[in-house]
Structure 1
Amino acid sequence: MKLPFKIIALLIILSLTGVFIYQAYWLVSFYHTTSRQTDTNIENAIKNADHIELFMRADRLSTKENKQRVTGVKADVHGEVSYSTSFKKGEVNKTSHIVIKKTMRRDNAIYENERILQGNNLVNDSINIGKDQNSMEAMLRQMQQGLHSAIDINVEGINLHDFDSIMNVELKKYNLNIHHYTQIVNTKTHKVQASSLPAYMDKKKLKMYELKYDVMGAHAYQVYTEPTDGMILKQMTGILLTSFIILVILSFSFWYLIKTILMQKTVDEMKSDFTNNITHELKTPIAITYAATDALLNFNIIDNKNKREKYLRICMEQLQRLSGLVEQILSMSMEQRKTFRLNPETIQMKELADNLIEQHKIKADKPVSFTLSVEPEELTINADRAHTYNILSNLLDNAVKYSPDKADVSIFIEDEGNELSVKVTDKGIGIAPEKQTHIFDKFYRVPTGNLHNVKGFGLGLFYVRTLTEKMGGSIEVKSALGKGSTFILKLPQHENN
C-alpha cells in the first residue's frame, strides 16, 4: 500500500521534531546535572578548606601554648558514639577548681561543653559530641563543628587568607578554575566579621554558598563565586558540538530524503506525461501512413502517378518522423547502459552541417533561413558521427521550432585550439533566466506561451548534454526573452585532427 506523500512528509517532520526535542531535553538535563555536581564540588571544597584551616590553627595553638591537643572517640554497645577534643597542660584536679558544664541539643546530637577554671585562668576547655551515627560524613562534620567551639576561643579567629589559599587548591582539585571571595558572618546579627570581597563587587552578580561551621550555627562562611553557567557550558563544548553536528546531519538527511521523494514524484509525473505524449506522437505517423497505404491499395490511386507520388511522399515523411522518435528513445536508453561505447571517426564539419541544413529546410513547416560559417572550411573532428549528428540536429530543430513565424538560424563552427566550438543562434522566443538552469534536465519542457503547437518530450536537450559530456565536451546557453537564444557546444579536439 502506497502512502500519500503528505503523510510521508508529516511522519518525517514528526520524527525529526521528536529527535530534536529529545536531544534538547537530554542536553538540558545534562546541564542541570553538571550544575548540581559543580555546586556539590564547591560545597565540598569549602568544607575541606574549613577542615584544613581549622586543624592548622589547632596545631599552631598546640605549639604556641605548649598544650597537647587530645581528640577522643568512644562508642558503646548501643551504637552511640561520643567525640572529645581538648587542650591540656597537665592533669587537673577538678575538685579544687571551678567546673562549668553546658549541654546543648542540635540536629539530634548532644553537645557537652566543659570548662575548668583555676582562678581567672582557663585550664581546660573541651567539647563532647554524642549521637547515634549511621553516616560517617555527618559524624565527621559534627566533630568538625565541635572543634570550632573549642579552638575559635583560643586562637585569634579564622585566618581568612589561609582559608582562601586552601580554597583555591581545593577548587583546582575539582577542575574548577573560578574566582572566589569569602566572608565570615554572624548569622544571628548578619554582621560581617571578616571579608576578602572587594567593596566594588556587586554581590547580586555572584553566586553565594554558605557553610555554618560552629555547633550553634551562629557563624558561617559565605563564599561568593562568579556564575558557573559559562564554565559549565565550556565544559559541555564537546557534547554540544557533537550534538549540533548530529542534528545538522540528521536535518540534512531528512531534507535530502524529502527532496529525493519530491524529485521522484516529479519524475514520475514527467514520465507519465512523456508516456502519454510519446504514445500520441507514435500513433500519429502510424495512422497517417496506414491511411495513405490503404488509399493506395483500395482506391486505385496507384495508377494515378501524381497521387501515388503524393501518398508515397506522405508515407516517407511520416516514417522518417517515426524513425526520429524511435532514434531519440533508443539513444536515451543506450546512453544509460554501462556497456555504452562511442565509435569515433574523422568527421568533416562543413559537410555534416550542410547535410543537416538541407534536411531541416525540407522538414520545416515554416519559412527558414540558415547562415553557416566554418573556420577553417576543412575543419574536422574525431568523434562519434551518429551522436554528433544527433546533437547538432537537436540544436537546429529547437532553433526552428521556437521561432514564431520565420526561423533565422546562424551556425558558427570554429577551431579554438584544443576545442571545437559550435554556436547555434536563433531569433526566437528566448528562455527566461530562471528556466535556463533546467532546460537540460530530463523530461523538462520550457512553457512556450502562445506557441501551443510546439511538440516535444523534454528529451532533446537532455540527450545533447548527456552525450556531449560523454564525449568530453560541454554545452551552455545564453538567452533573453523575446531576443532569441545561443547554444554554445564545445567538443575536444584530438591530436590526430
Structure 2
Amino acid sequence: MKDYKSRYIVLIVLVILLVYQGYWLYSLYNKRKHEIKDEIYGVIECSDYQEMEKRASLLGHSLGASVTLDVSPNNKNEKLASFKTYIRHLHDSKIVTIEKVYKCETVRNTGVSVNSKKDSLDNPYKIIAEDTRNQLHVALDSVKMNDLRYFYTLLRKNLKKVHLDCPLCIFYYSDGRLRAKYIEGGCQAKSLSETFIYGFGDHKAYYTIVLSCFPILVLRDMTGIIICSLLLWGLIAFSLWYLRKNIHSLHALDEMKTDFTNNVSHELKTPIAVAYAANDALLNYGIAKDPDKLKKYLTISLTELKQLEKLVEEILSMSMEKRVNMQLSYVYVNIHNTVMNIVEMEKMKAKKPVSFTINVDAEEMLWTDQKHFSHILENIIDNAIKYSADKAEVSISLKRDENFIVIAISDKGIGIERKNLHSIFDKFYRVPHENLHDVKGYGLGLYYVKCMMQKLDGTIDIESEPNVGTTVKLIFERHE
C-alpha cells in the first residue's frame, strides 16, 4: 500500500511539473508570437518602402519627407511638428508637396530630418512616419501600380535576413476589390497559416500577406528553450524515480535486516540448546557409563555443532565480498563421497519424506576447498528439500567436458517466478511464498553460495518454473 502511495505521489508531482512547464511554454509561445509578428510587420514596411523607391526610380522621380519643429504661438508649452511629403521630378524639378501639422508633447529636439528610406520602426515619430508612407503611396500609386512580384522578392529577402523565411502569398486590395495577387507554389491558407493586414495610402488600399508556416517559425525560434525544458523535466523525472527506487531499496533492506535478526537468533539458539542438553545429560545423568548412549549423544552434539559452524560461516559471508585475503585450503575432493555424506545428513534431519537420485561418477575429483564446497552443496540441497511440498524428490547429477565440471541439483518443488530469479542471490533476500509459512531461513544461504563460487573461480546458474521445479548448476573449471 505504501509503495503504491509513493508511486502516486511521484506521478502527481511529475504531472504538476509537466502542466506548469507546459503553461509556461505556452505563455512564452504567445509572447514570442506577438514579438515575431511585430518584427514581420517591420520587415513588411521596410520592403514596402524599397518597392516604392524602385517604382519612383523607374518613373524618374525622387521621394522624400521632412519634419520641422516650432513653438506654437497660442501656447508656449506646446510644440508643433510641420510635416511635408514631396515627390520631385528629376528632370523638370516639379515638386508635389503635402503638408500636415501635429502636436508633439514629447519631442525635445528641433531640426529633425526624417528619411523615408529607413524603416519607420527605427523612427521615434511613428505617427509622422506612417503618414509619410501613406502620402507617398497616395502620390505614387496614382501614377504607377504596385509591383507585387518585386515586393514579394524584397519581402522574402528581408525575412530571410532575420531568419523568418517562410512560404507566403500576397494579395493587393484597393477600394474593396482584389487588384492583384502573387501566390507561391508551396503557399496556401490553412490552419497553421497567419494573416498580416498592411494598410497604406488613404487606408482604402492594403496588402493581405499569408505566411503558411507561422507557428513553425515561432517554435523554431523557441527550439533551444523547448529542448532545455524537456531535458530539465526529464532530469527531474529521473531524479524522482532514482530517489524513490533508492528509498524503496533501503526500506526493503531494513525489513530484511529485521527479519534476519529475528530468524538468525532462532537458528543459532536451536543447535546451542540441543548441544547444551546433550552435554548436560552426559554430565549429570550417568549416560557416559553407557557406551551406546554416549555415542548417540556425542553424535547429536557434533551434528548440532556442525550446523552451528555452518550458520556462522553464512553470517561471515556478509563481509565475504570485501575479504580480499580470505584463506582457502585447496585439495582434491571426491565429489561422490562428499555428495553421499551430505545426502545422509539431510535424510536424518529432514521432516518430510525425501528421495534422492544420484548420478555422480565415484572417481570424479575436484580441486577446491573441502569445507566451503560442502557448505555450498548443503545449502542448495537443503533448499531443494525445504521448498518442496509434501514430498521432496531431489536429483543430483554430474557432467564434464575437457574444461568444466557441472554439478546439477534439481527438485520438483514449488519453483520460483521469473521476476524473482534476479534477486535470489541478494543478501537477506527470501522469495515470498504464500503457501509456505513455516520454512526457516534468513536470506543468506544463496548469498553465501554466490560469494563462495566467485572465490572458488566457479559460476552458478539457476533455472526455475513455478509448480514444476528448480535446477541449480554449479560450474567449476577442471584442474588435472
Shorter chain as denominator, the TM-score bin is 0.7 to 0.9
Which of 102, 120, 131 aligns to 2:102? It is: 131
3-state SS, counterpart of residue 326 of structure 2: coil
What SS is found at the alignment partner of 1:217? coil
Q: Pick one of 246, 252, 269 that aligns with 1:283.
A: 269
**Could you tell me which residue of structure 2 aligns to residue 415 of structure 1?**
400
Q: Any conservation in 1 of the 2:318–2:427 contact (CA below 8 Å)?
A: no
- Determine if contact 1:376/1:414 at 8 Å carries over to the other structure: no
Q: Separation in 1 of the partners of 2:383 and 2:239? A: 39
| Partner Cα separation in structure 2 for residue 36 and residue 204 of structure 1 | 20
Question: Counterpart of 1:178?
Answer: 166
Unaligned runs of at least 5 residues, structure 2 = 72-78, 108-123
Cα distance in 1 for partners of 2:135, 2:341 equals 113
TM-score by length of 1: 0.79
Tell me, in whole angstroms, the C-alpha distance in 2 between the residues paired with 1:402 and 1:8: 33
Question: Which residue in 2 is equivalent to 1:222?
Answer: 208
Matched, 1:30 2:28: yes
Distance in 2, Cα, partners of 1:322 & 1:74? 110
**Shift of the alpha carbon at 1:462?**
2.2
Deviation of the 1:69 alpha carbon = 5.4
CA 1:473–1:36: 2 relative to 1, 3 Å? farther
Map of 1:48-447 to 2, 5 A cutoff? 48-61=46-59, 63=60, 71-77=65-71, 78=79, 80-87=81-88, 125-133=96-104, 134=107, 135-153=124-142, 155-186=143-174, 189-197=175-183, 203=189, 205=191, 206-214=193-201, 216-330=202-316, 332-339=317-324, 341=326, 343=328, 345-348=330-333, 349-374=335-360, 377-381=363-367, 383-447=368-432
CA-atom RMSD in angstroms: 3.4
Shift of 1:390: 1.9
**Cα distance in 2, alignment partners of residues 279 and 465 from structure 1:** 23
Larger Rg: 1 or 2?
A: 1
**Alignment check: 8 A CA contact 2:84 2:99 kept:** yes
The 2-side partners of 1:18 and 1:340 are apart by 53
Q: Percent identity?
A: 33
Tell me if structure 2 keeps the 8 A contact 1:399–1:409. yes
Cα separation, 2, equivalents of 1:85 and 1:387:
108
Contact 2:196/2:208 (<8 A) preserved: yes
Aligned CA distance change for structure 1 residues 418 and 250 (closer, same or farther; 3 Å):
farther
CA-CA distance at 1:225 after TM superposition = 1.5
What is the DSSP-based 3-state SS (H/G/I as helix, E as strand, rest coil) of the residue aligned with 2:322? Answer: coil
Query: Aligned partner of 1:278: which letter?
Result: V
| C-alpha deviation, 1:300, in angstroms | 4.3
Aligned in 2, Cα 1:454/1:13: closer, same or farther, shift over 3 Å?
closer
Query: Which residue of structure 2 lines up, in the alignment, with residue 487 of structure 1?
Result: 472
CA contact (8 A) 1:396 1:424 kept: yes
CA distance in 1, matches of 2:88, 2:354: 122
Separation of aligned partners in 2, 1:350 and 1:280: 33
CA distance in 2, matches of 1:354, 1:484: 22
Q: What's the offset of the Cα at 1:404?
A: 4.2
Give the C-alpha shift of residue 305 in structure 1: 4.6
Distance 1:127 1:430, change over 3 A: same
Aligned residues: 452
* TM-fit CA distance, 1:47: 0.3
Relative to structure 2, which stretch is displaced further, 436-445 or 13-22?
13-22
Question: Which runs of 5 or more structure 1 residues have no equivalent in the other structure?
Answer: 93-122
Aligned-residue offset at 1:229: 1.2
Question: Is the 1:73–1:83 contact (alpha carbons within 8 Å) kept by the matching residues of 2?
Answer: yes
Moved over 6 A (4+): 4-11, 89-92, 198-202
Assess if the C-alpha contact under 8 Å between 1:129 and 1:146 holds in 2.
Answer: no
Moved more, 484-493 or 220-229: 484-493
After superposition, the C-alpha distances for 1:302-330 in whole angstroms (9 at most, x for unaligned) are 44555444444433333232222222111
Is contact 2:464–2:471 with CA below 8 Å preserved after alignment?
yes
Cα separation, partners in 2 of 1:439 and 1:176, compared to 1, 3 Å: same
Give the Cα separation in 1 of the matches to 2:419 and 2:469: 15
Partner SS, residue 196 of structure 1:
strand
Deviations 1:442-477 (A, max 9, x none): 333345566554322222122222332454433222
Cα separation, 1, equivalents of 2:32 and 2:398? 73
The one-letter code sitting in structure 1 at the alignment partner of 2:151 is F
Q: 1:342, 1:384 within 8 Å by CA — same for their partners in 2?
A: no
